[in-house]
A and B are shown apart, each in its own frame.
Chain A
Amino acid sequence: MTLPTGVTRREVDGDQGLATRGEPVYGEPTEDGWRRWDRSRSKLAVLLGRGVDTGLTADSTVLYLGAASGTTVSHVADVAGPTYAVEFAPRPMRDLVDVATARPNLFPLLKDARAPERYAHVVEPVDLIVQDVAIRGQGEVAVANRQFLREDGRLVAAIKARSEDVTRDPSAVFEDVLDTIGEAYEIRHRERLEPFHEDHLGVVAEPK
């Protein structure tokens, strides 16, 4: 699997890794206009770095759920087309607004990913949903947002076991979440994101 156009593997500041072109956001090292996409801060970067086909391309329309301060979504918007970034918490949104100001194709939305009708009047059908919401009910969030995905689109989700139940075995939590996601999607790929993100599962799925 080759990397999407706009993402490259190169040396930035002495370290080999993924990089995109854009305004720096979180103090990441840059070189010749390329900003390093730090895989220990971005679950999507881990998947891309390992050659997983995420469906991210240069002309993708993207819905990003759980954008937080905008670390990952800034790289996505560097690469992709219109990118809708949903985040529920006001404090990280403050940082996300700055990230979006410098990126005309990034649209920040202070909304709850569990209530998609509250942003369905803004978000158009998309080619890719990236989900990274650290809340209980991650499977339900993926199912509820299925309506935004085109028939040939793709869901890339980072499932955090501790958000569902901190006391249960992560593998058991992942099975439950995957069962829920399976109600609306075909699971195409799954892999644990260790050592960069502990107790996280990366999932790629296509709509049923």
Chain B
Amino acid sequence: MSDDPPTETGWFDGVESGDVDVGVEAVRSGASGQVREWPAVAVDAGFAADESAYYEQLHEITVTAAREAVRRREGADDQQLIHGIRTLDDCLRLANELTERVAEWAGSRDPDAAVDTAYIERLADREPSDPIEERLVSLAERIRGLQSEAAAVRAFVEQSAHAVAPNLTAMAGPELAARLIALAGGLEELAKKPAGTVQVLGAEDALFAHLRGGAPSPKHGVIYTHEYVRGTAPANRGSAARALSGKLAIAARIDHYSGEYRPEIEAELDDRIERIRARGEV
């Protein structure tokens, strides 16, 4: 497949004339080290009666291959990404809660017990010597399983975020991109939100407290996790959050309506943040 050295045969080599499935696979995963007059080669090889019959098959197969590839991508669409990021959060939260519970239980019997991953690792490898320890070791194994599942889900989120929203992911990183899409309810929903809403997504409690009166307006929601907000001096954080959310909103719109990766948006943001951070410096 993709790791084989390129051959010098056409996609139709070894494909039965009229067999669309095999042809699709050959177009998708094949390669050649040399360009040749494929229509003529195919006719000589008896794959097609003449060149127009060859083109007819090539058309059906390339259109089918492209359509299937697009459909496969739908399997990695925004709704799947939302499930992914929520599952990641659940796995981590459950692992943390269980770690605390197990450490507390174990602490009643074992002076070395501590709320950390290293202790859980050691516990999981232990040979239980009584019925209580059996429970503790078993729980530790489950925590370890949750953590490795979380790592696998995180890898899925990273891969899927790039496919679903290339511009948003380039700017925000896969996890934040996925969180924004999840908070909005989908990429289309996020693309339709004004930048000011993107800025406070995830800070709904603070926002409604502000709208009821009394509380200050939130400067940022979940985008706080972005280096451009967190790494900016507190006095300038509101400006940084506004600049960032503006570009994130644009990125989400490009991703939803075009899907083409456009690096210049990111460069404009870098520029803007640099100027915001330079304020007050002499």
Contact = CB atoms under 8 A, between A and B. Distances in A.
A100 B166 CA distance: 25
B32 interface: yes
A93 B163 CA distance: 13
B55 A105 contact: yes
B132 to A, nearest CB: 53
Interface string B1-38: 00000110111000000000000001110111111111
Given A120-B33, A163-B263, A166-B267, A108 B66 contact: yes
A33 interface: no
Contacts of A90: 69-70, 73, 163, 259
Contacts of B36: 124-125
Interface residues of A, number: 37
A134 B32 CA distance: 25
A89 B62 CA distance: 16
A187 interface: no
A134 B262 contact: yes
Interface in B230-257: 255
The 10 closest A-B pairs by CB, nearest first: A91-B259, A121-B32, A90-B73, A166-B267, A120-B32, A108-B66, A107-B62, A121-B30, A166-B264, A110-B69
Given A93-B69, A117-B6, A121-B11, 18 more contacts: A69-B258, A91-B259, A92-B260, A100-B59, A100-B62, A101-B63, A108-B62, A109-B65, A110-B28, A117-B32, A117-B33, A120-B33, A121-B10, A122-B11, A124-B35, A124-B36, A135-B261, A166-B268
Interface residues of B, number: 42
Contact of B267 (A106, A135, A167): A167
Contacts, number: 112
Contact of B27 (A93, A109, A167): A109
B273 to A, nearest CB: 15
B279 to A, nearest CB: 21
A51 interface: no
A122 B38 contact: yes
Contacts of B35: 120, 123-125, 147-148
A162 B12 CA distance: 39
A149 B31 CA distance: 18
A16 to B, nearest CB: 29
B39 interface: yes
A107 B23 CA distance: 14
Contacts of A96: 66
Interface string B39-65: 100000000000000011011001101
Contacts of A97: 63, 66-67, 70
A94 B263 CA distance: 22
Interface in A75-95: 82, 89-94
A158 to B, nearest CB: 14
A118 interface: yes
A162 to B, nearest CB: 5
B37 A93 contact: no
A68 interface: yes
A110 B9 contact: no
Interface of A: 68-69, 82, 89-94, 96-97, 100-101, 104-110, 117-118, 120-125, 134-136, 147-148, 162-163, 166-167
Nearest to A136: B263
Contact of B62 (A122, A162, A167): A122
A68 to B, nearest CB: 7
Nearest to A66: B260
Nearest to B164: A91
Contacts of B163: 90
B66 A122 contact: no
A124 B66 contact: no
Contacts of B268: 166
B264 A162 contact: yes
A95 to B, nearest CB: 9
A92 B11 contact: no
A89 B33 contact: no
B258 A91 contact: yes
B66 A93 contact: yes
Contact of B58 (A91, A122, A134): A122
B66 A82 contact: no
A165 to B, nearest CB: 9
Contacts of B65: 109-110
11 contacts: A82-B39, A91-B258, A93-B66, A97-B63, A97-B70, A100-B62, A122-B30, A122-B38, A134-B260, A148-B35, A166-B263
